[in-house]
Chain A
Amino acid sequence: MNPYYIKEKKVSNTIIEIKGLTKNFDDQQVLRGIDLNIHENEFLTLLGPSGCGKTTILRIIAGFEEPSQGEVLFSGEDLTKIPSYKREVNTVFQKYSLFPFLNVYDNVAFGLNLKKVDKEIIHEKVTKMLGLVGLQGFEKRDVTLLSGGQQQRVAIARALVNEPKVLLLDEPLGALDAKLRKEMQTELKKIQQEVGITFIFVTHDQEEALSMSDTVVVLNDGVIQQIGTPIDIYNEPENRFVANFIGESNIIEGTMLDDCLVKFDDVEFVCVDKGFKKNEEIEVVLRPEDIKIVDLKDGQLRGKVVSEVFKGVHYEYIVQTDKRDYKVHTTEFYNLGIEVGMRLDPDDIHVMYTMEY
């Protein structure tokens, strides 16, 4: 049962189509051939480390940069020919970029004022939008005196009030503290579902990406590493980069003996992965929380607990075997220095192709 499959039914029509997109700054290639389809009503996240090109992709969609090569289609139309102020896209900037000389109301009304919309209608729309982001009563406030979270909501309202087909959000939660961040994540998701438009969300926080998105696009160095649902990305990372970047993991080289049979650290394990060549060299991803600590005699692997760190909900142990160190998360307490066994169920083992570096 693939949950992505169900969602795929819902998000059907492609709204933005990116084909073979590259971008060079001077002699530096920042994007190296991006292919991506973005659908209506989709909450799509671009996830990747700092400097991988996330903002650049957004800026190309918004029209602040031109692609060096490749195509960007919006509802089948070539987007590059349309100037940014005519695109049906709005942006929430990385640092909000609110207009400091205007108050909250005028910031939100900025786009509508430009379109010479009737004043009554502007008032109605702005008021409604401020209600949606929970800022009713803040109309006359000076934006520079708002808290980070409030500013962020003004930025969202300012963009959304124009009823764009696609909303681009560039790390909008980057400046917030952990608690507010959590709250805003929920709120953003709620807003997206309420207005029912496409969100392209940029973050380098994997947890944020996983908890909010319909689709996650993992980027590194201008190249897409994997596109998939959060669950896919987490459970079935396609390569070492994704596995490393999404959550913590133990990555171990091994050999695929047969369908559903893998061997690493001289032990054979039953798994669920199929379709590899016989004896193909692969890599195995083991999430720390999937490794179960058992009695010595029941363990497929054996080792000694050499380190213990309390992480809040769970403990993190390093278990040293004669081949390597395993990182294990569990809520049980074990003394340092004792010998333990470790077990892996078939669906705890994720086999992926070895990356050619």
Chain B
Amino acid sequence: MNKKNGIGAKLYITLCFMFFYLPILVTMFFSFNSSKSLTHFTGFSFRWYEKLIHDNSIMSAVYVSISIAIISTIISTVLGTITAIGLSRSRKLLKEWILNVNNFPIMNPDIVTAIGLMIFFSSLKIEKGYIPMLLSHIAFCTPYVITSVYPKVRRMDHNLANAAMDLGATPFQALTKVVIPMLKPGIFAGMLLAFTMSLDDFVVSYFVTGNGVENISIVVYNMSKRINPTINALSTILIVVVTVILVCVNVIPAIMRKNHKSTGMAYQTKAGTFGRRVVLASGIVLVLFIAGFSFNMSGAGKKVLKVYNAGEYIDKTLLDDFEKKYNCKVIYETFDSNESMYTKLQSGEKYDVLVPSDYMIERLIKEKYLQPIDWSLITNRDNVIEHLWTNEYDPKGKYTVPYFWGGVGIVYDRNVVDEKDLEEGWDILLNEKYKGNVYMYDSERDSFMIALKSLGYSMNTKSKKEYKEAYEWLIRQRDTMDPVYVGDDVMDNMISGNKAMAVVYSGDGAYVINENENLDFFLPDQGTNEWCDCMVITKDCKETTLANQFINFMLEEDVSEINEEYVGYDSAVKSTYEKFRDDYYLGNNACAPKLDNPLNETFRYQETELKQYCASLWTKVKSHQK
């Protein structure tokens, strides 16, 4: 029976370990993948490590994350420890009060802290960026240090400090030679906690940063459109570093203790090193701080252009090229959706160039956020595919220059889907032959677009009745087809051939087809969403010439080629578009989709009331998932 128990316990522990470490191992494993897939291992390579090292934005994010984590850890550890010691000596009422207040930031949802800090910095007119991020991290890390040090202070024999002074230690020596060594486990735990909290913070950082300063989590979040194994490579490096640190932390003291006990005089040297350690720590803080500051300020004196774009939507080496060519500094920030970009603009953040989508542009024009393009500077105007200039969101053609464009269609597995069924158009998504074999794209407007088109309505209808019908279409589909609503993971899933078909953007479709030759793409005849993302200049922009030059630069034929190669959508530059259509993506139906269907439309700006109605219907569709 004992033996049986033993096996059970071992099995349990094995399962636990697998649960904890398997995801990490998988992450590390795929960092060596030779292809872009996160689920298919195609061969061993260091490709993503090379890419990581050459990716300026990730490297600077790593720098920001780590320098902020180190500085805020050191400062909050010092502050927290002093506070905890001070607290143990103050009056009971004050003590309880402060301890309760101290729990606030820990118990508060991050978002509350984040918004509080954002408003705080805005109201003090402190420019967002490195310093506010650092201050915020110190602010939310300190309570963790206090909570882990305070119990140790309370349990400590208070006569120890007296004993030290009795033996001739000044109050400061008593602190460094007795109190701090006594509290070391607590301080250390607090320090580790602060470091991890700071290193992986997203919410607070996201709200208080600006001016192109981004930490790792922000970069990864904005990348979510297309996560690539660079992140796995980064994670692997971080995991290795953390493991090495943990090993050092656990092994070195053990070795030192051994030595210490065997000499019996190690104390003297230890006491000596404390001072040196303090100097070293302050040195690190100073260096990182100055470096961080100069990082923030680098390019001071030069003209500055602030660009706000969707994540993974530019090849960043082009930014360096632009900076060199025009002797300027580009501050580049990314967003994860048009809506979050809009929110950021509303919060008063100022940018020069934005890259929003069609319907959002319409709204920005309507709300007078934009200034007209100076066409005299757009010498590459004729490089752009002609028909992209005519559109409804910018009817007079004053504000926008097309960037990437495409349509929404269905990518399908030729081995599973019957060629004839394609004639059903969007209704193939209701064909019960493919029940349980369909991915829907988790996007409210695109899902309604499909239903409306299938019913023969305009996707920009203002009729609630038609929306209601579309809603019923979606409900029916949900109940009869068991579709899975997915985000960008759809790409990996389709490459792996997990289901027969999926609703995708044409650019994503082209990528997927390239990775799995069994797949193909089609655009339903009922019409689809023909989208276009454009470059625009905000009314806040002062460097208008530079902003126009930037837009013009992106239209250069060789520039747009490099960019297309990285982004993978259909370029607005004609030569690039054709080159990819006829070369790299030859025979790939998702590339250069035939968007000549008169039933195709582009999204228009939705009035708030309709938008809310639509959103509530979509929530119902998703919330009653079987």
Contacts and interface: CB of A to CB of B under 8 A. Distances in A.
A106 B166 CA distance: 16
B173 interface: yes
Contact of A114 (B157, B169, B266): B169
B248 interface: no
Given A62-B166, A111-B168, A114-B168, A100 B267 contact: no
A97 B162 contact: yes
B165 A84 contact: yes
A99 interface: yes
Interface in B157-216: 157, 159-160, 162-171, 173, 177-178, 181-182, 184
A109 interface: yes
A139 B167 contact: no
Among A86, A93, A98, residue most surrounded by chain B Cβ atoms (within 10 Å): A93
A105 B260 CA distance: 11
A97 B162 CA distance: 9
A158 interface: yes
Most buried by B among A84, A111, A140: A84
Contacts of B164: 99, 110
A83 B174 CA distance: 13
A98 B157 CA distance: 10
A90 B261 contact: no
A103 interface: yes
B182 to A, nearest CB: 7
Nearest to A101: B181
Contacts of B169: 85, 114
A90 B167 contact: yes
Given A85-B168, A85-B169, A97-B157, A91 B264 contact: no
Interface in A158-176: 158-159, 162
Given A93-B159, A140-B261, A85 B267 contact: no
A95 B166 contact: no
A64 interface: yes
B159 A99 contact: no
A298 B169 CA distance: 69
Nearest to A59: B162
A100 B163 CA distance: 12
A166 to B, nearest CB: 12
Contacts of B160: 97, 99
B343 interface: no
A117 B271 CA distance: 14
B376 interface: no
The dominant DSSP class at the B interface is: helix
A191 to B, nearest CB: 18
A119 B264 CA distance: 12
A106 B271 CA distance: 11
B265 interface: yes
B108 interface: no
A162 B265 contact: no
Contacts of B166: 62-63, 84-85, 89-91, 159
B173 A106 contact: no
Contacts of A114: 167-169, 173, 177
B262 interface: yes
B100 interface: no
A113 B271 contact: yes
A173 B167 CA distance: 21
A85 B265 CA distance: 23
Contacts of A90: 166-167
Given A105-B265, A139-B264, A95 B167 contact: no
A307 B357 CA distance: 105
Contacts of B162: 62, 64, 84, 91, 93, 97
A158 B167 contact: yes
B268 interface: yes
A119 B269 CA distance: 11
B267 A106 contact: yes
Contacts of A119: 265, 268
Interface residues of A, number: 36
The interface centre, meaning the residue of B163, B261, B264 with most chain A CB atoms within 10 A of its CB, is B163
Interface in A80-132: 83-86, 89-91, 93-95, 97-103, 105-106, 109-111, 113-115, 119, 123
A64 to B, nearest CB: 5
A102 B159 contact: no
A114 B268 CA distance: 9
Given A85-B170, A113-B267, A113-B268, A103 B159 contact: no
A335 B348 CA distance: 103
Given A91-B163, A95-B159, A139-B264, A101 B182 contact: yes
Most buried by A among B166, B170, B178: B166
Contacts of A102: 267
Contacts of A100: 182
A37 to B, nearest CB: 23
A123 B266 CA distance: 13
A28 B264 CA distance: 46
A89 B165 CA distance: 11
Contacts of A89: 166
A170 B511 CA distance: 81
A158 B182 CA distance: 18
A40 to B, nearest CB: 21
Interface in A20-59: none
Contacts of A83: 165, 170
Contacts of A99: 160, 163-164, 178, 181-182
Contacts of A162: 167-168
Contacts of A97: 157, 159-160, 162-163
Contact of A95 (B157, B165, B267, B271): B157
A140 B262 contact: yes
Contacts of A110: 164, 167, 177, 267
B124 to A, nearest CB: 42
A109 B157 contact: no
Contacts of B171: 85
Interface in B215-256: none
Contacts of B178: 99
Contacts of A111: 167-168
A90 B268 CA distance: 21
Interface in B252-288: 260-262, 264-268, 271
Given A89-B166, A114-B169, A162-B167, 17 more contacts: A62-B166, A63-B165, A84-B165, A85-B169, A85-B171, A93-B159, A93-B162, A97-B162, A98-B163, A99-B178, A103-B261, A105-B264, A105-B265, A106-B266, A109-B265, A139-B264, A159-B167
Q: Which 8 A-B pairs have the closest CB atoms?
A: A111-B167, A106-B267, A97-B159, A97-B163, A105-B264, A85-B165, A114-B168, A91-B166
24 contacts: A63-B165, A83-B165, A85-B165, A90-B166, A93-B159, A93-B162, A93-B163, A94-B159, A95-B157, A97-B163, A99-B160, A100-B182, A103-B261, A105-B265, A106-B264, A106-B266, A106-B267, A109-B265, A110-B167, A115-B168, A139-B264, A140-B261, A142-B261, A162-B167
